[in-house]
Amino acid sequence: MPTPPKWADQFLVWFVSEDLIEEIQGDLHEAYYARAAKYGRTAANRQFIADVFQFFKPYAFEKYSRAKQFLPMFDNYFKIALRNILHRKGFTAINLLGLTFGISAVMLIGIYLQNELSYDHATPGHDRIHRVMNKYRDQTYTCMAFNGYNETSADSQLMLVNLLDSYDEVETACHFVPTHSPIGGFGQYFLEMDGKRFTVEKALYTNTGAAFQAVFPQRFLAGTPETAFSGFKKIILTETLAERIFGSNWANQDIVGKDITLRGEGFQLGGVVADVPGNVHYSFDFILHQDRIPGWAGYTYFKLKPNQAAAPVLAKLNTDVGKYHPNFVKDELWKGFISVPLTDIHFTNGNLYELKPTANKAYLTTFGIVGLVILLIILTNYTNLSIAMYADRQKELGMRKALGAQSHDISLQLLVEAVLLSLLCAPFVLFLLQYLLPPFSELMGIELGKNILFNGLALLSLLALLLLTGMLSGLYPALAYGSRSMLRLFGKTSTTTANGYFNFRNTLTAVQFTMVVGLLSITYFIYQQMEFVNNMDLGYQKEGVVYFNIDGIEKYRQLEKKLLELPEVEAVGANGVPGPMMLNQLTYKMKDTETTLSDGTEQYFGLGTVKALGLDCEPCAQLAGSKERIFVINRTAAEKLAKVKGVAPDELVGETLVMEPEWENEEFGYGVHHTIDGIIDDYKYFSLKYADQPLLITIAAEPAWAYEMLVRLNTDNWFAAASKIKTAYEAVETERPLEILFLEDRLYRLYADERRSSVLLGGLSLVAIVLALMGLAGIVSYMAFSRQKEIGIRKILGASTGNILLTFNREYLLLMVVSTAVAMPVALWLSSKWLEGFAFRIEPQFWVVLMAGLLALTLVAAVVTLRTRRAAAKHPVETLRAE
């Protein structure tokens, strides 16, 4: 006799609830035998399996409903939870407010971190793409160049790229340089089309269009990559730029193939691509495909074939490069090429000429930790508040137990409440974030996509975050009240009999305030350092100086003349604007010593720059005589050289210094020789993150070349002055738009990252402290309520209202002292770590932490007093009457 398939039968037994299995299995077996007799075994088997799977639904899982009617059920939990949330409006409001602010802050941090950590991850095959970097002297260059790169033929510019391309491991290699980079000069240009002129920025020059498209695929909205990159003299616009030039209906126009002029050269429009997202390491508004790269270096990338490593490619490159550029191998200072994986570029600090500001992993970690701290405060808050709140719900819980609810029923009930409450704040969080995100991304200097909030990932993370918050925060009350015996729930005595001073609740509060005090102090240290940097004597006058790019000395001279005629202009100078990113360094030594130093920075500027900056330059007096130019070194350089030579720094004046002594030439034999005309005081040319660098400066009475122009203004009316400068500029220069910038702004931007962190940390500590105080207010109200009788007895025994208030406050005094004591070493240590990033820095003072502790204590005392005032003032008769 046939029997039903065993596995299906066992499966049925496994999933069907005990109450139902007998009848269901019976029915199915009966049906099986009936069918087997009628239609044969195979059909019966098939039908049996189908039947089993058709029973796989909630109906069969559940316990038989009649047996459950007396137990609290899930929808009942839900109903009661909702009722409680609506009933306790004050509690709900405080909790919702705290949750909304806290979760929003955590979400902001999350969005920021996600943006930073996702850099270049959207590029397909990103794990196979590497950038070649050049090690020279003690520095690493992010770009690749060789002597004469700028002048050489188009073919030899491509030599290194072609070499990379020829290796078996390499799929393709590309080469480009964006103008919005230290090499490109960050300039603006005029773009002309059909007689109309547009000011544009961010060009990306590439001489390897097809390879660029293969390594960094751009999405074409008009034209195709094949046609756009076939042949040179092509321009490819981004969507935004196309819209600016052709109007919003550009997509409906026949624009591909149009003629466009840029910097006097003609280009043909090859296509339109989607805008470059913010989280890639390069950016552009348009691509120019031409046979040569204008500039002295380009950024070089290669994409490996699958399952290949970068190291062998670099090894070959370092050997083979000698065949094409013997100079590389001969040059002692050249330390070889290295490579960096595409997704590491954003986190590799300290290299020269990086395209975009890199991320500091320490900052990201800090933000992440602060996010967790806030999350922890939210969790402890809810726990604390609900412990307090459930005090007057004990009878309800006791009644449930009396009616047959088990421990886990009570726990589940309380957990559902916590989760429901945290889910309720989702719409508020979304609402708040919508308004916070634009200013936030501006503050943090990030470009977020349009749909950063309402996409699957963000919404899902929010949901997960809320669920997690709800579960974790509800866990303690759920377990504590679930396991409490019925008698205790009905009992009249205080529920949370504290086990010693450091019970669970007090520990939570102490942890919260440790974090608050730590955050506050660190924020203050950062603020102090920023102020210090801002007010430091830089050795020149940064106020009232503007600067802009200029193309060549001819235009400089014409404009200098015009500007000096303006009454608002005090001085005009060529080159030498302070506050650049780190520059490439060179080697130098005294002619009669052997030791070569390698950390020199060469400077060339006009006497006008000295005047415009107000530099203290005694040797400059020599320029008033017959001398056309003088060579000076700063104090740091003088001290270094004097130490090598074994003389006093001032004795170097009149001696000969050799720059780049390893360079052989006809004029001097080796290096470039300069007679030192004087020594000037150190001035802070670079960011204050770096110690004073040795500067080797040539100052010319009449500069022989110029690429940037400084103007010192003696007026407060910047707008009027700027418009006059603009008029003068436009009379001289018609090819390039004017972009006037303030020196103060440039110096300010040097610390943008640090300032950003201080503002963010400040904002977050504010959120943290408000949340912590809210939580405290909740507990204290509850404590005052549950200790009413104690207060009554104390009063009868002679305590005044003031005494009572003091009793409550004293309890928190010790907590705050402990918090401050714990926060102090941590905050001091973390701040010193952070301050190590600055060569010129403040010393973190311990009293700042004390003040933060005191501030927190004051706020705590205010909250405690406010919340206990009423209980303390109550007449003892009212509280003790019931006995």
- Measured from the CB of residue 404, what is the shortest distance to another protein in angstroms? 21
Scanning 16-24, 553-561, 587-595, 845-853 for contacts with another protein by CB under 8 A, the matching segment is 16-24
Query: How many Å apart are CA 613 and CA 608, to the nearest integer?
Result: 8
* Contact between 221 and another protein per CB under 8 A: no
User: From the CB of residue 875, how many other CB atoms can be counted at a distance below 10 Å?
Assistant: 10
Measured from the CB atom, is 3 or 365 closer to another protein?
3
Q: Calculate ∠ Cα 412-415-421, nearest 5°.
A: 140
Measured from the CB atom, is 20 or 766 closer to another protein?
20
Strands (E), 541-684: 545-549, 569-574, 586-590, 597-606, 629-634, 656-665, 669-675, 678-680
Strands (E), 753-799: none
- DSSP output for 132-199: EEEEETTEEESSB--TTTTTS-HHHHTHHHHHHHTSTTEEEEEEEEESSSTTTTT--EEEEETTEEEE
- Measured from the CB of residue 64, what is the shortest distance to another protein in angstroms? 8
- Measured from the CB of residue 406, what is the shortest distance to another protein in angstroms? 24
For another protein, the binding residue among 13, 15, 57, 438 (CB under 8 A) is 57
* Contact between 39 and another protein per CB under 8 A: no
Helix, coil or strand: residue 57: coil
- Measured from the CB of residue 89, what is the shortest distance to another protein in angstroms? 36
Measured from the CB atom, is 38 or 89 closer to another protein?
38
Site size with another protein, rule: CB under 8 A: 21
- Measured from the CB of residue 38, what is the shortest distance to another protein in angstroms? 11
For another protein, the binding residue among 15, 39, 59, 501 (CB under 8 A) is 59
Query: How many Å apart are CA 206 and CA 292, to the nearest integer?
Result: 8
* Contact between 29 and another protein per CB under 8 A: yes
Query: How many Å apart are CA 235 and CA 205, to the nearest integer?
Result: 9
- Measured from the CB of residue 65, what is the shortest distance to another protein in angstroms? 6
- Measured from the CB of residue 83, what is the shortest distance to another protein in angstroms? 25
Contact of 691 with 839, CB cutoff 8 Å: yes
* Contact between 50 and another protein per CB under 8 A: yes
* Contact between 33 and another protein per CB under 8 A: yes
Give the bridge partners for 151, in sequence order.
none
* Contact between 28 and another protein per CB under 8 A: yes
User: From the CB of residue 561, how many other CB atoms can be counted at a distance below 10 Å?
Assistant: 12
Sign of CA dihedral 789, 792, 797, 798: positive
* Contact between 803 and another protein per CB under 8 A: no
Tokens of 328: 């590389």
Scanning 25-33, 82-90, 156-164, 195-203 for contacts with another protein by CB under 8 A, the matching segment is 25-33
Scanning 31-39, 556-564, 684-692, 810-818 for contacts with another protein by CB under 8 A, the matching segment is 31-39
* Contact between 51 and another protein per CB under 8 A: yes
* Contact between 26 and another protein per CB under 8 A: yes
Tokens of 705: 């070349």
* Contact between 55 and another protein per CB under 8 A: yes
- DSSP output for 479-497: HHHHSS-HHHHH--S-S--
Query: How many Å apart are CA 161 and CA 592, to the nearest integer?
Result: 42
* Contact between 451 and another protein per CB under 8 A: no
Scanning 47-55, 125-133, 455-463, 863-871 for contacts with another protein by CB under 8 A, the matching segment is 47-55
- Residue whose token pair is 């547009």: 198
For another protein, the binding residue among 7, 13, 15, 30 (CB under 8 A) is 30
For another protein, the binding residue among 22, 392, 650, 836 (CB under 8 A) is 22
Measured from the CB atom, is 22 or 127 closer to another protein?
22
* Contact between 24 and another protein per CB under 8 A: yes
* Contact between 154 and another protein per CB under 8 A: no
CA dihedral 444, 448, 452, 457 (to 10 degrees): -80
φ, ψ dihedrals at 593, nearest 5°:
-120, 160
- Measured from the CB of residue 56, what is the shortest distance to another protein in angstroms? 9
* Contact between 31 and another protein per CB under 8 A: yes
* Contact between 229 and another protein per CB under 8 A: no
Tokens of 49: 């399996």
- Measured from the CB of residue 391, what is the shortest distance to another protein in angstroms? 39
Distances (CA, A) of 555 to 558, 570, 612, 683: 5, 19, 19, 29
Distances (CA, A) of 574 to 404, 549, 680, 748: 89, 10, 19, 22
- Measured from the CB of residue 52, what is the shortest distance to another protein in angstroms? 9
For another protein, the binding residue among 25, 92, 407, 494 (CB under 8 A) is 25
* Contact between 60 and another protein per CB under 8 A: yes
* Contact between 68 and another protein per CB under 8 A: no
The string over 451-490, giving b where at least 16 C-beta atoms fall within 10 Å of a residue's C-beta and e elsewhere, is ebbeeeebeeebeebbeebbebbbbbbbebbbebeeeebe
Scanning 58-66, 257-265, 739-747, 821-829 for contacts with another protein by CB under 8 A, the matching segment is 58-66
* Contact between 23 and another protein per CB under 8 A: yes
Query: How many Å apart are CA 606 and CA 564, to the nearest integer?
Result: 15
Site of interaction with another protein (CB under 8 A): 22-31, 33-34, 50-51, 54-55, 57, 59-60, 65-66
